[in-house]
Amino acid sequence: MTPEEYFLYANVDAAQHGFRPEINLPWLAEVFFGKADFSPQFRKQIEDSAAAPPAW
């Protein structure tokens, strides 16, 4: 299934979705790394990985 086929199947309007780092990054850091407070270097590492295009 291609990404386009999946979006149609899942009824996802990709243009209406976005990643809000100010909301999501603290939550993701807590879930995956056990801490919501992190250094600027750690925040940049997470932001850079979140901004990377999907490897499809």
Neighbours of 18 (CB within 10 A): 8
- 1-56 confidence digits (pLDDT tens): 888 888 778 776 767 777 777 777 777 778 877 776 667 777 777 777 766 666 66
Q: What is d(CA 55, CA 11) in angstroms, rounded to the nearest whole number?
A: 21
Asked if residue 22 lies in contact with residue 13, where contact means CB atoms within 8 angstroms, the answer is no
Asked if residue 29 lies in contact with residue 35, where contact means CB atoms within 8 angstroms, the answer is yes
Find, among 10, 11, 7, 9, the residue nearest to 54 by Cα.
7
Q: Where are the domains of the chain?
A: 18-51
